Amino acid sequence: MNVLSKWFRGAGGGGEDTPASETARIIRRSNGLSELTRALRSEESLHVLDLGPTSAQNITYLTGLGHGIHSEDVLLASCDPSLLVPGSEGQPVMDVDRFLAENLLYEPASFDAVLFWDTPDYMHADLVKPLVQRLHRIMKPKGLLLGYFHTRDAGSDAPYHRYHIGTQDTLELQRIPPNAPGREEDRRYHHFRLQRVFNNRHIENLFHDYSSIKFFLGRDNIREVLVVR
């Protein structure tokens, strides 16, 4: 099946958040989103990849700008227990090849922009670099990637949030409580735990193959980055 047939166009169109799982949201200003939005407004009919949980709000916002959007929750996919296989010494290791064979199956240079959110902070360490390399392959030259990285001050118990675009420069961060009714995957989000903290040098090394990176330091222990393919 041609994966590009999954593009959402027009408002609505499936994948809407389960109303029963809605909780109070944190509103935060995002300079990185503001800069990305300016770039998206300057072009027409771009292709955007959202790597977070499917958000009807994000779909409506981006299609309202005249762009196509595809959502793929790679963090949730990475938590498949069957991806852990016995290593050479018997210890469990991540089956990176299988993960890449089952996720982000797009043609090279498919996307003009990627909403990376804070995926690397919560993902298994063995998958982070291969994921960034796969994104490099499927992004167009000069394509933009927007990411959020926790600083050390955030603490090891920093909760996982779903990201919803509010306006051109604001995000709504939604946390799912452990006893939330609704879809099983919604409840699984509560159990995601911060795996590591990237400093600036780590982030620069992670995106070594990309052409440039710009940092925005927020006031809530989050470091924003806007990366150019």
How sure is the predictor about 224, in pLDDT bands with cuts at 50, 70 and 90?
Answer: very high
Tokens of 87: 């290593």
How sure is the predictor about 42, in pLDDT bands with cuts at 50, 70 and 90?
Answer: very high
Whether residue 181 is predicted with pLDDT greater than 90 in this model: the reply is no
pLDDT of residue 66: 96
Strands 212-217 and 222-228: antiparallel
Mean per-residue pLDDT for 49-74?
96
Whether residue 117 is predicted with pLDDT greater than 70 in this model: the reply is yes
How sure is the predictor about 183, in pLDDT bands with cuts at 50, 70 and 90?
Answer: low
pLDDT of residue 158: 85
> Which residues are within 8 A (CB) of 27 and not within 5 positions of it... i.e. 6 or more apart?
166, 170, 171, 172, 173
Nearest-CA neighbor of 150 among 93, 222, 49?
A: 222
Specify the range with the lowest mean pLDDT, choosing from 31-35, 64-68, 115-119, 216-220: 216-220
Mean per-residue pLDDT for 165-175?
95
How sure is the predictor about 190, in pLDDT bands with cuts at 50, 70 and 90?
Answer: low
Whether residue 14 is predicted with pLDDT greater than 70 in this model: the reply is no
Whether residue 72 is predicted with pLDDT greater than 60 in this model: the reply is yes
**First-residue to last-residue Cα distance in the chain:** 27
> Between these two residues, 178 and 228, which has the higher pLDDT value?
228
As a residue count, the chain comes to 229
Residue ranges and CATH numbers for the domains of the chain are 31-152+195-228 (3.40.50.150)
Residue 167 main-chain phi, psi, to 5 deg: -130, -170
Whether residue 113 is predicted with pLDDT greater than 60 in this model: the reply is yes
pLDDT of residue 99: 98
Specify the range with the lowest mean pLDDT, choosing from 12-16, 137-141, 196-200: 12-16
Chain segment 195-209, per-residue pLDDT in tens: 989 999 999 999 999
Which residue is it, tokens 């809530």? 220
